[in-house]
C-alpha cells in the first residue's frame, strides 16, 4: 500500500513537471513565432527538456562570436522567460565541419565556445541566474543534418539553449 501511494505521488509529480515543460515550450514558441515561421528558430520538447535552436545567421556574422545588434531582441525575449525559471539551462555552440583557423579562433572548438559564451552573457545581463547556466562548445560534433550542402552547413551552425527538465529521481531522493 505504501509503495502504491509513493508511485501515485511520483506519477503526479511527473505529470506536473511535464505540464510545466509544455507551458515553457508554449511560451517560448509564442514569443518566437515570427522567427519560427522564418526558420530562424526551432523549439521542441524532448525527454531532456525544452530545446531551442537559434540559427547562426540570427545571432552572428560568419566566423564571428560577437552578437549582431539584430539578435538582441530575440535574446531579450528569451531572457524574460528564462529569468523566471529555476531549472538548469545549457547553452551549446555548434559549427559546421568547415575548418576555421584565425588568430582569434584557431579551431571550431574556440568559435563554438565563444558563441555560446556570448549568448550566456546576454542572458545573465537580462536576469537569468548564473547558477543555472552552463556553456558548452561542441564544434561540429553534433550536426542536425549531414554537412553535404551549403544549406545543411547553415542549419548546423547554431546555438542550442536547453532548459533541462527537472530530474524526479534527484528531487525525490529515489535511486
Domain segments of the chain: what residues? 2-165
| CA distance linking residue 146 with residue 144, whole number of Å | 7
Q: Long-range contacts: 36-39, Cβ < 8 Å, 24+? A: none
Residue 170 has pLDDT above 60, yes or no: no
pLDDT at 173 over 50: no
Under a CB-based contact definition with an 8 Å cutoff, are residues 30 and 16 in contact?
no
Q: Residue for cell digits 552573457?
A: 121
- Residue labelled with grid coordinates 550542402: 149
Give mean pLDDT, residues 37-54.
Answer: 94
2-165: which CATH architecture? 2-Layer Sandwich (3.30)
Q: Which residue has the cell 552552463?
A: 134
* pLDDT for residue 174 is more than 50: no
Burial 88-102 (b: 16+ CB within 10 A, else e): bbbbbbbbbeeebee
19-36 pLDDT, tens digit per residue, is 999 999 999 999 999 999
Mean pLDDT, rounded, for 37-52: 94
For all residues of the chain together, what is the average pLDDT?
Answer: 91
> Taking the model in full, what pTM does it have?
0.89
Which pLDDT belongs to residue 172? 37
Q: What is the pLDDT of residue 166?
A: 84
Cell of 73: 531582441
Which residue do the cell numbers 536547453 mark?
162
137-146 per-position pLDDT tens digit: 999 999 999 9
Tell me how long the chain is: 175
Amino acid at each position: 500500500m505504501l509503495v502504491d501511494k509513493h508511485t501515485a505521488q511520483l506519477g503526479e509529480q511527473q505529470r506536473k513537471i511535464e505540464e510545466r515543460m509544455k507551458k515553457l515550450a508554449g511560451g517560448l514558441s509564442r514569443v518566437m513565432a515570427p522567427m519560427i515561421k522564418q526558420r530562424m528558430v526551432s523549439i521542441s520538447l524532448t525527454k531532456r527538456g525544452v530545446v531551442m535552436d537559434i540559427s547562426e545567421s540570427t545571432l552572428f556574422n560568419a566566423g564571428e562570436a560577437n552578437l549582431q545588434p539584430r539578435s538582441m531582441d530575440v535574446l531579450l525575449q528569451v531572457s524574460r522567460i528564462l529569468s523566471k525559471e529555476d531549472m538548469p539551462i545549457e547553452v551549446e555552440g555548434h559549427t559546421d565541419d568547415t575548418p576555421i583557423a584565425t588568430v582569434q579562433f584557431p579551431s571550431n572548438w574556440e568559435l563554438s565556445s565563444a558563441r555560446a559564451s556570448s549568448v550566456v552573457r546576454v542572458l545573465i545581463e537580462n536576469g537569468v541566474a548564473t547558477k543555472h547556466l552552463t556553456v558548452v562548445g561542441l564544434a561540429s560534433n553534433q550536426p542536425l543534418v549531414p554537412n553535404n550542402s551549403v544549406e545543411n552547413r547553415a542549419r548546423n551552425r547554431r546555438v542550442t539553449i536547453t532548459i533541462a527538465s527537472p530530474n524526479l529521481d534527484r528531487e525525490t531522493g529515489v535511486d
